[in-house]
Each structure stands twice: as C-alpha cells, then as structure tokens.
C-alpha cells in the first residue's frame, strides 16, 4: 500500500486545529491524556514562521494521543512523514492558511494519522489550494516580512547569514583593534572612519531587510549607530580609551577569576592557562588563614528622658477646633492624609519600651491627668544608634503626639519584661502652648475726606493726606493686627511704600485686649484656684494692634504680616501664604487680599494751575478785532492726577462773576477757551479718585483799543535853492508800538504819473520825518493806513498834506561794466565815474583819504551829467577812500552828500611765480603725462606763460592758476608738460604784471629708463666663437653634491627687482636633450633681487637645465616688462637671457651578498637591504671565553661559512671608483673600511679578522662612493657615521650572529635568591634569563612537568600550593638546539599557618558586669607558633589591648576575660611562614 488515503478534506481525521503559525492550540480528546508536547517539525515551523501548503492557521498539526505507547510513537512518526510530504509541494509561502477548519469532535478513521499497531499510515495529501496568495490588508503584517523573498533565500538561512556576517565583522574589528594596540601610535583615523562607515551600513541593512526576529526599528538603528561610533572612537581614535579606563580593573578581576577557574580543571587546566602574569599579579591568599572573632558586650541600664533638648512646643488649636468633626474624624482614620501634628520627643536608651505613661496638666482647669500609651509601635520612632552585639538594645527617639495645650511630663516607661526605665532626675515639665496667630483687618473709623474705599478684591484705596489733615489729627490707622497667643508677643509687619521695604516691629506697642477670661472662685477650692493661677500665664490671649500711617506720600502701600513670635519663642512665618515675590521689591500682585496681606493705594490729590506758557507771556493778554491777532485765547492748564478731571474756574469782569467748569478726559495739553475779557481765577479740581486744590494765580484778558494818529507838517525853506525844498512831517501816535504809517507821494507837476507808496516805521509815540524829493513840483502826501502791534492788519485813516518843493542837486559814483572800480596797481592811474543830477552846470567837491591824511578837491563847471574823476598815479600802496562831499547846481543850490564813497586798494606789485622743481627734475614713467609743480605769490587767478627750451616751433604755453593748496605763504599748483625736456617761465600776471623767480624759472622733465636684467657671462663657458657660438653654460655639477657655482645677474633700474624666469629640464636618459620640443619638465619661478643678486641653479635630478629670463619689474615700473630671449648680448640694454647647466649622475653602487658557492642570497636596492638574509648563528656554552690566542682560530673557522660581499657600481659613473664601507662589530665602535682603485664595476670586500672572533651581531653598510670625475654618492649622512648600532635598528645590511647559550639565575626580588629564606605559598619565584629575548623554559612543580615560552627577561612562577619546584632547562626559541640545563634550582614550598578563633565563627555574647568568658584559639602549622591578638572597641573599632604570644608549641590557646570588646587575631607565624606576609 502507498499509505495515502484518497478523499476527505484535511482536518477530517479528528486533528486539533492550530490557532496561528506561532502558537498552536491543543484540545483534549475524551478518554485520552492531554497532548502537552508538539512534534519536532511543529516546533521548527513555529519558530521559523514557515508553514507549507495545508499548514496554516487551522492546519491539523497535532492529533490526540492514545494511551498506548506504540500508537503514540506511530503518531509522531506518521505526522513527520505527512509534514515532509507537504513540504515537497511548496505551493504557498509563509503565513498561508488552510481553507478547511478541522472539527475537534469528528470521528477518527482507521487509516488516519494514528493507525493500528501493525502498519504505519501516512497522512493524506492536502487538498488543492489556489496558487494566488491572499491579499494582505494589514500594513503591519507586510512590515514584518523580509525584504529578501523566501523563494530566493528561506528565513533560517537569512538569519544564519546575517549572524555570520555580524560575527565576521566583530572578529575583524577585534583583530584591527588588537593590531592597533600593539602599534606605537595606537590611534588611526582611517580605522575609525572605516569602521564607522561599515557599522552604519550593517545596521542600516539590518533595518532595511526586515529579517524576522532580527528586525531593527528606526530608533534602535540610530542607537546602535551612535553606540558603534562611541566604541570606534575609543578603540581606534583616542589614545586613552574611556572603555579601557573604565573596564580595565573589572576586566582584570573577571579575567583572573576565569583563569583561576580554568586552571582548576585537572590535567588540562594548567596547560591551557600556563603561568599567566595576570594570575601572578592578581594572586591573593585566601582569608581562611585567620577565621573567627569573639565580641563581648556588657549590657548598660535602660534610660528615658522627655524632651531632652528642652524645646518649646505649640499647637494651632484654633484651626483644629474650627474644623468640622467629620473632617477631624477622617484625618484620624486615614493616616496618609493626616494633618501635621505636634510631637514631643522621648529619648529611650535600652530595650524597646512596651508602655509609656505621662502626666498632662491643663492650663484652663489646672487639673493633672495620667495617660498611658500601651501600643508604642504606633508611635513615630527614629533610631539613633543600634547595638547589634547587645541584642535588642537601641538608642531611639519616640515622638509623643499631643493635641491639647498644657504641661506634659514623663511618668514611667516599662519594657516587655516589666522592667522600669530610669528617668532623668529633676526634669522640668514640657510646656505646650497655643501657637501664635494673627491676621489683618480694616479699621472702620476713617474720615470722610479721605475717600476710603475697599474694592471687591479686598484691597483699599485712599486719597493722599496733607499736612493740614495731620494737624487735624486725622492720622488714625487704617489697618489693625488681631493677634492671639502666649503673651507678650512680637509681631513683624513688612511695609512696602513704592517699592521701599521697611520692617515694622509691634513688640513695643501697647495692644488693646479683646477679652480676658475671669474665673469665679465660688465653686472652686483654694488648691484648684492656686493651680489655675499657676498655669494661667501660659494661656493664649487675644489683642489688637493698630498700624498708624500718615499717607502723606502717594503710591502703593503694601502691608504684609511677616511673622509673629510669642513669649515661648514660637515663631510663625506668614510670608509663604501671600503672593510670591511681592516682598522682594516687586510690585504687589493684583490678586485678592489675604488675612496676611493688604494693599492700600494712596492716590495723589490732583492739582491744576496755569501752563508754563502763561508765565513767560506778557500779561495782561489782549484781545483784538484784527484778523491777524487773536480774538480768543486757549489758556493752557497744568493737570496732575488720574483722569478724567473736572476743573472749576471763575471769570470776574468788574462786578460780574461767572463760575464755570470743564471736564478733561485726557491730560495732554488741556486748555480753557477765553473769549471774553476779564480776570480768570481757578477754583478747584477733582479727578477720578480725589479732589484737589488750584493755584492762586490769575490771568487777565483785555480788549485792545484801535490806534489813531495826529499829523502836522511844516515846510523846509532854503533861500539859495529858491524856496521850500521839502516838508517836515510830525506824527502823534496812539496805540501799542511799533507803528507803521502808509502814505502816497504824488507830484502834481506830472498828473499822469503813478503815485509812490511809502512806509514810515516808528517805535515811539511821537515821530518826525523829512520829505525832500529830487524833482521840483507840488507834492501831495496822502496818509491812508496806520498799523500798531494790536492791529497789524491796519486801520484806515484819511489825511492829505500838499507842499510846493524846489528840487536839490545830487551825485553818486557810477559803475564800469557793472562794477565800481576798487583795485589799482602802484604807479598806475584810475578813473572813477560819477553821475550828477539837477540843473547844470555843477560844482563837485570830493575828498581822497589815505591813512590819516585827507585831501579835498573841488571841480567846477561840469556840464555833462557823467563825469570821470582821474586818480593817480598812485605812489604808495594801500587803501584810498574817495568821498563825494558836496554838489552844487547852476542855481547855486548846494547839497551835502552823505555816505557816498568807495575804497580803492592799491597794490605794490603783481604776482611772483617760480617752478617748484625737484633736484633731479620731474621724473615720469614712459607713456605717462608729467605735471611741473609751480608756486605762486599773489592774487588769483594768475595767468602763467612758459615754453620749452630748444623747441623749434617756439610755442608759448599758457596756464591759468586758480586757488588750490598752500605751502607756507605761497600757492602750490602745477602746469602741464608736453614731453620730456627743459621748460622756462616767460611771464605771469593777475591785474598787475608779475615777476619771475629767476632761480626757479627752469625745470627739466625726464623719462625714467625701463628696468633690465641679464646673465653675467663671467665664469661661464660656451662652445664656438662669434655667431656660431652656443649657449653660455655653467660648469658641470655632480648629482647629490652641493653646488658651488651660481648664475650672477646684471640689473638696471630702481631696485628691488622682481624677476620671472623659466627652467626647462631634459633628463639624463633623454636622447634629445636640448631640443625644445622634447622637454621633460618646465617650471616658472619668481625671484626678488636687490642691487646685486644671483640665481641659484637646481641641483636634484641629473640632466640638462636651461634657464630663461622672461620679465622684470622694479620699484618704478610695477608692471612686468617682457625681456627678449637671446643667448647673445645685443646691446648694453639687452644682455644674455638664456643659459644652461648640466648635472651628471653620481656613482651609484649596491652592496650584495653571495654564498661561498657564488649564489646571490637576495636582491638589494639602492645600497641597503630591504629583506634581511638569515643570520649565521653559532651556539656557545654560557660563560665560555676566548682569549686573544684563540681569536685567530675562531676567525678561520667562521670565515668558511661567511658569505662573500661585493660592491657593484652602475655604469653611469666613470672608473676607477672608491668606496667607504661601515662595519658594526658585536661590541665596540664601528669602523669605516676604505676600498680604493676599483678598476671595474664590481669589487669583493675583505672584512677585518677581529670581527669574526666576537660573540654577538655585526652589520655592514655602504657609506659613500666616488668616481674618477670626483662625483660622490652619499648613502649615509656624514654626521651619522659611527652613531648607528645594530640594536637600534640599522636599515639593511648583512648580519652574522654568535649566540651564547641562555642562563637563568634567581632574581634579587625572589625569595629563592636568599638561601636562608624559606619559600612559602603566595611567594613569586622569579628568575633572570640571559641571552636572546625569547626562551623556552622547562620546570617541574609537584611532579608536574611543564614547558612554556617566555618573551621577557624575567621568568616568574607563583607558588600557589605547597610542594617542590625545580627549574630544569632553558632554551632559545630562535635556536632550540641552544639550551642550558640546571641542577641547583630546586626549592621546597611551605604552607601558610592557620588559626581559628571560637571555632572560626563570629560570636556575639552579652554578659553582665563581673562575668568571665573563655575564648578558645586553634592553631595549625609547624610549631613553634607566634601570634598577636587584639581587643577592639565595639563602637569605633579602636584597639584597646594588643598581646603577642611567642614560641607556643601547643596547637590550642585560651583567653579568659571579663572586658567588653571584639577579640581577634591579626598575625600568626610558624617555623617557616607567616600571615599576613611582611
């Protein structure tokens, strides 16, 4: 049979349905045992999440098991077979579910998974399922899928590869870290950066791939990246790793513990661990060598004391009794919500108290009550000290809660055994009083004028009081403090007045008592009355304190009840109950008032006064009907206070009084509009809070009268002029000056002419003026307007004056070309034009004033109106004043002229001009425009004329010098030069002809020459002569040798010079050397040269160098000037700019080694070995010596095995050669061997014979070679010759080594070095190893043979167990056949002695005074014993006694004592060893 059953859906076999791929629910079948174990295949699929077709959410994974064992086994096997068959299909991925739900109660067929015992049946095949996987709607399910499809790689393999990758990366990182730790630098930025990148990639891939069970969230990925950066920083970047500093001590401890554990493995452990230095350094002897302590405690008496510190206590009884009864009950039932209680401390020193009895005395009744606390465990307790050695003895403080005021005293305290404690003698009773309390309240008696108002928030406001209020005794307090407590009381109130803090203490004020309790003695006896009288002083009393304040200063007054203290020094601080910060200088908050805080806002009383503008104005104010003046005034006010304001004022005009008021909402620029005349008087003012007073000053307004004038006139008569020549007008003015009167002047002789309007001003009330016109005729003066200060727009008037006037002559100075002549030159004449008016002919009189002299001159018979006064020639320079004094016409009418004059300035000479030429002339660069500096003395502008000497055209240049800059008293300017040459001044002039400074009349303009540079050919050579000559060359140089010659440069210009040159290089192996198109390297350089300079040729690579000068610039020509490339000198200005230099190769050689048969041992490069050849080694017995007679035989023997050394030269040099070879012997200084006359390119080297006769290592290297041309090749710095040593790492070379057999001797720090000293467990056996720095050491410890490798010169072994230790053999690891054996390095290791105190246990024993105790000590070791025991204090561990017992031959010892303390042994020693070690 095939074992398959056709038909029937999956699940019809009576199988248990599976709830999910990760968790399979199991059911019980009636009659069978519970299936509590899954098959192996089920666990695999549960763990991996891979469920093949048919094994989904409801796949029949498990079937019920029967009670027969055979069926149970068959079921498991068949289930496995079915699963394997289903896995072969692989139709669905992980997480697919079956289509059929199995029924738990369906009957089981005979051929199902569980069959009969005769044949095993396979599970039926699963039904066909759709190939399309169900669509996953849950995004979370998709997020947990791997990014790698399971068809490519299944999930277990993905996890395996991921973990393998992580393991490989961790091992790689550990390898890099260990390798870097062995390096000298111990830091590497490359490794740090590399591992940061690799770690970031690893964690990103882990987050991105979503491998199940290895999925990383985003936050975890970021955390791992940050952790990796931190680890990499410590491993690869920091020289002092934080991880090393923090982990090293713990790592050493853990590692040493592991090593000791591994070493404890029989046979295998010692071989794995070996003699680790970590075990040796961390080895510690166990503490079992001294075990046990015995502590004896003498019990003291139990004591109790109430209130040992004599503190005072108080109870807030008012608050407690003010609470409802149900609230007090709730607070008592629930301890977690209890009110802080007052508790009296009771100090107990002894056993735990069982009951505490105390007496209570009431202050009100004086009666004494006895109370007992039987449950002391309910009391709060603080343990001050514990005595473990005394059992249940403690020093503790119990806190007795009290809720009533009164006197308390301890009565008795008993423990569980009924023993009564001792109480402190003459201890006073503890007084508990009522805690002091206080609060603020407002005083109801306040004057009405204060406008006292209490707002809704509890704060008050009041108006500012005045000195008059204080005189009227209105300074009663607004705030009262109601206090209750044990009197006398001290109350502190903090007052803030506008931020200024002040503390008010009320301890000295006399309070007003509120109530006093009086006791009637009718129903009390004398004893009770005496008791009440005795305790009445401690009762609480209530009093009222009044805070008086004048409130003279406006602002914010804040009162804070800071604290209260009663007579028992109980202080209650109320500052924490009010608004925070208000008493640190801040403004009080706007919150509601509290019983401990009150705020009084004292408002400043408003005031009103006239504005400052009225104080500086001219009073009284005038009202005018003129439109240019004010018909009303806005009288400014000055208000203070808080708006809005109401200002009341009066207007008094004669007998009439008008009272008015005005309201102002805004206090900015308040005014009262005054439209009617009168006296304005301010009455009072009120603002939003208070009423205030007004200033007493008044403002008066008047109505200004209109101006008017009285006009009279009188003629001005002159008989010689024919009668009246004018009119004198008198004005009588009334009004407010200044005045202005307007009139029209009209000549009736010309009726069609326009009248002339004139204006007359006057500051006086009487004014006169003359009217004297120049033309004759009848004049009419019409006055039509009068102005004054009150009526500036003018008032009309009407008055006319008529006057017959005969005209007078006149004269004035005329202009020439619009200007009156005012300047002249000395020696020249000047004409001054004059214009005359009137009837001719005229007679003119004028004066010429010079200095203090006046000369008058009269000119008669002038017929023309235009006349010219001829002045000069002037003989003296200076100012001449010409005044017209009088003019007379043909009628002989004379007129005196006033202020008709002019001033003529006569100069002594013209300007003085000269060139300001430098000593070497004006120097300019080629192509630049030159300016010749010139200085000028004179008046500007000045015209200068100059020409160029030698110019064929004889052109004269003209320049106008204007004002520019001054240098001393001269004007400095410049004129333009037209090309190089010498220029000469011709003339200069302003209004007068000037002079030329003959010493500075010429100046030269010179063009600076361009800079030039060339190679000086002195010391250079070239091939050929004339035009066929080659390029100039420097003498050849050798490669690597210092250059002795340089190129000398010729320079022309103004230094320093900046030279740019080019270097072309052809290598020595270039076949076309010197051909421009085949240059190997071209570089450009810049050189700064001084007066004399050289160019240093390059000296490194052998070959041809060509140097070409490209450009040059100097101090004057900053722009580089290109040079002509030439190998020949063309002129004195153009020299050689191209030269060459040849560097030949140095004689290079290599040092090679060959075997005696002629075979090359290794390849060498550039004179030094890159791979050292194997050393030739010989092992000598330790201590074997060779005398001088034996040296020759040793050398002959060793020469047979030495290689042959040859010097091989390159063909670039020229023979014969010389060579210097440095040889480093095994000991002593090095020596240099000179090999001369090497005819060919190869030569063998013969070593000195004495080198082969020394033990150790010697080395040889090339120092220098030289050829026939004198060229040298230096392989070693000459300063380092003779300084190198083989043990300090000479690079390369050939080595020969003679090895002495190793030796071992006990180290001085080892106990084995002292024959008289015994070796004990814990000692370190140390041996100094001699020879090469790598050995194999063989030893035997307790018949166990071991061989270990040692890399240090000190070999150490810890003696951890008693027995025998023998060092047998030491060999060199580099040459195992070179060994030494020892027979005198054998030692016996002794055990450490031990002692047990009281059987090795810690014993605590309580005794009474006088009892004796025996303490037994047990010793183990080799007698005689010496030990030390001590007695220490129990509390401080102070040593009280110390005793040393010596030469004890027994193994037991007993100490009998009655003293208190801890007894212990601190030192023990037997015949061989001691503990602790010295």
Per-residue pLDDT tens for 1106-1121?
Answer: 999 999 999 888 889 8
The more confidently predicted of residues 960 and 326 is 960
- In the block, tokens 């070179």 appear at 1378
What pLDDT, on the 0 to 100 scale, is given for residue 1261? 82
What pLDDT, on the 0 to 100 scale, is given for residue 1099? 78
What pLDDT, on the 0 to 100 scale, is given for residue 109? 38
Q: Which helix (H) or strand (E) holds 1218?
A: strand 1217-1224
Residues above pLDDT 90, as percent of the chain = 21
Strand 597-603, strand 460-463: pairing: parallel
Strand 1386-1390, strand 1002-1007: pairing: unpaired
Q: Average pLDDT in the 731-742 region?
A: 92
What pLDDT, on the 0 to 100 scale, is given for residue 1137? 86
Tally Cβ neighbours within 10 Å of residue 970: 17
Q: Average pLDDT in the 1323-1341 region?
A: 88
Least confident stretch, 165-174, 501-510, 560-569: 501-510
Strand 656-664, strand 645-653: pairing: antiparallel
Confidence of residue 725 (pLDDT cuts 50, 70, 90): confident
Residue 476 has pLDDT above 60, yes or no: yes
Residues above pLDDT 70, as percent of the chain = 75
Q: What is the pLDDT of residues 1243-1293, one digit of tens each?
A: 888 776 665 556 677 777 888 888 888 888 888 887 877 775 544 444 446
Strand 678-686, strand 645-653: pairing: antiparallel
Q: What is the pLDDT of residues 489-507, one digit of tens each?
A: 888 989 899 888 888 888 6
Q: Which of 561, 558, 575 is nearest to 497 (CA)?
A: 558
When computed from its CA atoms, the radius of gyration of the chain, rounded to whole angstroms, is 66
Q: Which helix (H) or strand (E) holds 75?
A: helix 69-87
> Phi-psi bin for 470: left (phi > 0), alpha (psi -120 to 50), beta?
alpha
What pLDDT, on the 0 to 100 scale, is given for residue 986? 92
Q: Map 285-351 to HEC letters.
A: CCHHHEECEEEEEECCCCEEEECCCCCCEEECHHHHHHCCHHHHHHHHHCHHHCCCCEEEEEEEEEC
CA distance 1223 to 1264: 13
DSSP helix, strand, coil percent of the chain (3-state; round to 5): 15, 40, 45
The more confidently predicted of residues 1036 and 1163 is 1036
CA distance 1271 to 1258: 30
Q: Which helix (H) or strand (E) holds 533?
A: helix 526-535
Q: What is the pLDDT of residues 682-721, one digit of tens each?
A: 999 999 888 888 888 888 888 888 899 999 999 888 777 7
Q: What is the pLDDT of residues 1226-1248, one digit of tens each?
A: 667 788 888 888 888 888 887 76
Q: Average pLDDT in the 582-611 region?
A: 71
CA distance 167 to 1279: 53
Q: What is the pLDDT of residues 512-531, one digit of tens each?
A: 666 555 555 456 778 778 88
Residue 1426 has pLDDT above 90, yes or no: yes
**DSSP secondary structure letter of residue 1076:** G
CA distance 1178 to 1256: 10
Residue 52 has pLDDT above 60, yes or no: no
Distance from chain centroid for Cα 392: 60
What pLDDT, on the 0 to 100 scale, is given for residue 587? 42
Q: Average pLDDT in the 268-296 region?
A: 76
What pLDDT, on the 0 to 100 scale, is given for residue 577? 47
Residue 669 has pLDDT above 80, yes or no: yes
CA distance 747 to 194: 118
What pLDDT, on the 0 to 100 scale, is given for residue 256? 67
In degrees and rounded to multiples of 5, residue 570 shows phi and psi of: -85, 120
The pLDDT mean for the chain works out to: 78
What pLDDT, on the 0 to 100 scale, is given for residue 958? 92
Confidence of residue 543 (pLDDT cuts 50, 70, 90): confident
């Amino acid at each position: 049979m095939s074992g398959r059953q056709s038909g029937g859906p999956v699940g019809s076999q009576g199988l248990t349905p599976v709830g999910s791929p990760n968790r399979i629910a199991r059911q019980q079948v009636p009659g069978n045992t519970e299936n509590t174990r899954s098959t192996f295949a089920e666990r695999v699929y549960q763990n991996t999440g891979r469920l093949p077709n048919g094994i989904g959410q409801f796949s029949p994974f498990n079937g019920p098991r029967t009670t027969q064992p055979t069926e149970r086994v068959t079921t498991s096997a068949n289930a496995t077979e079915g699963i394997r068959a289903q896995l072969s299909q692989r139709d669905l991925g992980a997480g697919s579910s079956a289509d059929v739900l199995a029924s738990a109660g369906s009957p089981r067929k005979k051929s199902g998974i569980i069959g009969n015992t005769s044949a095993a049946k396979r599970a039926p095949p699963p039904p066909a399922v759709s190939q399309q996987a169900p669509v996953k709607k849950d995004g979370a399910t998709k997020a947990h899928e791997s990014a790698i499809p399971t068809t490519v790689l299944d999930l277990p393999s993905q996890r395996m590869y991921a973990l393998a990758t992580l393991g490989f990366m961790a091992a790689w990182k550990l390898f890099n870290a260990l390798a870097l730790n062995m390096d000298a630098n111990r830091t590497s930025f490359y490794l740090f950066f590399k591992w940061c990148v690799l770690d970031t990639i690893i964690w990103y891939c882990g987050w991105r791939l979503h491998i199940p069970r290895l999925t990383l969230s985003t936050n975890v990925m970021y955390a791992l990246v940050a952790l990796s950066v931190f680890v990499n920083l410590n491993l690869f970047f920091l020289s002092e790793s934080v991880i090393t500093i923090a982990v090293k001590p713990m790592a050493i401890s853990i590692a040493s513990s592991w090593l000791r554990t591994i070493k404890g493995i029989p046979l295998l452990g010692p071989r794995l661990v070996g003699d680790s230095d970590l075990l040796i350094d961390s080895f510690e002897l166990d503490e079992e060598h001294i075990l046990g302590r015995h502590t004896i405690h003498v019990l003291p008496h139990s004591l109790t004391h109430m209130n040992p510190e004599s503190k005072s206590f108080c109870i807030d009884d008012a608050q407690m009794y003010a609470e409802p009864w149900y609230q007090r009950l709730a607070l008592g039932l629930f301890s977690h919500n209890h009110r802080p209680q007052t508790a009296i401390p009771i100090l107990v020193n002894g056993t735990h108290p069982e009951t505490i009895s105390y007496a209570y005395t009431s202050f009100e009744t004086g009666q004494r009550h006895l109370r007992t606390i039987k449950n002391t465990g309910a009391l709060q307790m603080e343990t001050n000290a514990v005595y473990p050695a005394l059992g249940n003895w403690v020093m503790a403080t119990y806190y007795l809660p009290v809720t009533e005021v009164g006197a308390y005293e301890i009565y008795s305290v008993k423990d569980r055994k009924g023993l009564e404690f001792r109480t402190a003698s003459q201890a006073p009773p503890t007084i508990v009083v009522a805690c002091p309390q206080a609060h603020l309240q407002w005083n109801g008696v306040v004057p009405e004028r204060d406008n006292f108002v209490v707002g809704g928030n509890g704060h008050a406001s009041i108006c500012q009081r005045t000195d008059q209020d204080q005189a009227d005794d209105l300074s009663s307090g607004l705030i009262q403090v109601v206090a209750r407590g044990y009197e006398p009381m001290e109350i502190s109130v903090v007052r803030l007045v506008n931020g200024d803090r002040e503390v008010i203490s009320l301890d000295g004020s006399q309070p007003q008592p509120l109530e006093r309790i009086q006791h009637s003695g009718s129903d009390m006896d004398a004893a009770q009355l005496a008791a009440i009288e005795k305790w009445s002083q401690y009762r609480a009393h209530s009093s009222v304190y009044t805070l008086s304040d004048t409130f003279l200063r406006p602002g914010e007054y804040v009162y804070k009840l800071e604290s209260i203290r009663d007579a028992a020094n109980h202080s209650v601080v109320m500052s924490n109950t009010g608004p925070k910060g208000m008493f640190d200088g801040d403004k009080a908050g706007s919150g509601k008032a509290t019983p401990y805080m009150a705020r009084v806002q004292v408002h400043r009383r408003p005031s009103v006064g006239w504005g400052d503008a009225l104080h500086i104005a001219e009073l009284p104010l005038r009202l005018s009907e003129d439109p240019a003046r004010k018909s009303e005034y806005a009288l400014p006010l000055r208000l203070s206070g808080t708006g809005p304001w109401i200002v009341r004022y009066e207007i008094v005009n004669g007998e009439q009084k008008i009272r008015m008021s005005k309201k102002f909402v805004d206090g900015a620029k308040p005014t009262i509009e005054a439209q009617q005349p009168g006296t304005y008087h301010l009455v009072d003012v009120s603002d939003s809070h208070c009423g205030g007073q007004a200033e007493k000053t008044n403002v008066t307004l008047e109505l200004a009268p209109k101006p008017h004038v009285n006009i009279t006139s009188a003629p001005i008569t002159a008989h010689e002029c024919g009668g009246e020549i004018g009119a004198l007008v008198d004005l009588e003015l009334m009004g407010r000056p200044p005045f202005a009167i307007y009139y029209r002047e009209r000549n009736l002789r010309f009726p069609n002419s326009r009248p002339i309007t004139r204006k007359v001003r006057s500051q006086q009330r009487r004014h006169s003026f003359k009217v004297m016109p120049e033309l004759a005729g009848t004049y009419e003066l019409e006055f039509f307007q009068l102005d004054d200060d009150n009526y500036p727009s003018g008032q009309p008037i009407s008055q006319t004056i008529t006057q017959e006037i005969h005209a007078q002559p006149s004269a004035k100075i005329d202009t020439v070309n619009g200007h009156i002549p005012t300047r002249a030159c000395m020696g020249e004449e000047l004409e001054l034009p004059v214009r005359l008016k009137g009837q001719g002919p005229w007679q003119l009189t004028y004066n010429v004033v010079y200095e203090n002299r006046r000369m008058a001159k009269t000119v008669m018979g002038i017929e023309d109106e235009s006349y010219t006064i001829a002045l000069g020639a002037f003989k003296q320079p200076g100012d001449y004043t010409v005044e017209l004094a009088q003019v007379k016409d043909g009628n002989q009418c004379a007129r005196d002229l006033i202020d008709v004059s002019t001033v003529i300035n006569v100069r002594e000479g013209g300007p003085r001009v000269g060139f300001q030429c430098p000593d070497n002339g004006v120097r300019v660069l080629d192509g630049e425009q030159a300016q010749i500096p010139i200085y000028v003395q004179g008046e500007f502008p000045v015209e200068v004329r100059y020409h160029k000497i030698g110019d064929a055209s004889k052109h004269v240049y003209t320049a106008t010098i204007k004002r520019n800059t001054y240098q001393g008293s001269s004007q400095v300017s410049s004129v333009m030069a037209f090309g190089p040459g010498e220029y000469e001044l011709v003339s200069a002039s302003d209004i007068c002809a000037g002079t030329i400074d003959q010493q500075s009349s010429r100046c030269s303009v010179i063009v600076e020459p361009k800079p030039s540079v060339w190679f000086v050919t002195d010391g250079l050579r070239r091939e050929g002569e004339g035009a066929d000559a080659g390029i100039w060359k420097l003498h050849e140089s050798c490669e690597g040798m210092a250059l002795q010659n340089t190129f000398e440069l010729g320079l022309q210009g103004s230094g320093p010079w900046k030279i740019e040159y080019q270097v072309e290089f052809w290598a020595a192996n270039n076949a076309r050397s010197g051909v421009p198109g085949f240059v190997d390297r071209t570089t450009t350089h810049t050189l700064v040269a001084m007066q004399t300079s050289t160019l240093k040729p390059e000296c490194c690579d052998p070959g041809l160098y060509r140097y070409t000068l490209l450009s040059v610039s100097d101090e004057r020509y900053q722009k580089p000037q290109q040079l002509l490339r030439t190998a020949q000198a063309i002129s004195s200005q153009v020299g050689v700019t191209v030269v060459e230099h040849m560097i030949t190769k140095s004689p290079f050689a290599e040092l090679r080694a060959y075997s005696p048969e002629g075979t090359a041992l290794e390849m060498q490069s550039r004179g030094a070995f890159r791979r050292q050849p194997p050393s030739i080694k010989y092992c000598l017995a330790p201590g074997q010596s060779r005398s001088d007679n034996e040296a020759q035989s040793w050398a002959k023997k060793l020469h047979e095995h030495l290689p042959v050394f040859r010097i091989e030269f390159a063909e670039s040099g020229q023979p014969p050669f010389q060579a210097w070879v440095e040889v480093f012997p095994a000991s002593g200084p090095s020596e240099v061997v000179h090999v001369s006359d090497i005819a060919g390119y190869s030569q063998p080297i013969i070593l000195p014979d004495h080198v082969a006769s020394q033990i150790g290592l010697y080395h040889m290297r090339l120092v220098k070679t030289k050829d026939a041309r004198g060229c040298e090749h230096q392989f070693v710095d000459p300063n380092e010759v003779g300084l190198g040593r083989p043990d300090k790492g000479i690079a390369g070379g050939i080595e020969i080594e003679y090895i002495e057999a190793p030796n071992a001797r006990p180290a001085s720090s080892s106990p084995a070095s002292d024959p008289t000293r015994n070796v004990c467990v814990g000692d370190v056996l140390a041996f100094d190893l001699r020879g090469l720095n790598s050995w194999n050491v063989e030893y035997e410890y307790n018949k166990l043979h071991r061989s270990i490798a040692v890399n240090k010169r000190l070999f150490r072994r810890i003696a951890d167990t008693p027995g025998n230790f023998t060092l047998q053999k030491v060999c060199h690891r580099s040459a195992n056949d070179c060994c030494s054996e020892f027979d005198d390095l054998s030692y016996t290791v002794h055990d450490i002695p031990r002692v047990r105190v009281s059987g090795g246990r810690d014993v605590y024993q309580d005794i009474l005074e006088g009892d004796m105790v025996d303490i037994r000590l047990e010793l183990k070791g080799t007698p005689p014993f010496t030990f030390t025991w001590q007695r220490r204090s129990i509390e401080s561990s102070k040593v009280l006694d110390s005793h040393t017992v010596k030469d004890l031959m027994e193994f037991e010892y007993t100490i009998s004592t009655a003293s208190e303390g801890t007894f212990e042994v601190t030192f023990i020693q037997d015949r061989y060893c001691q503990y602790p070690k010295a």
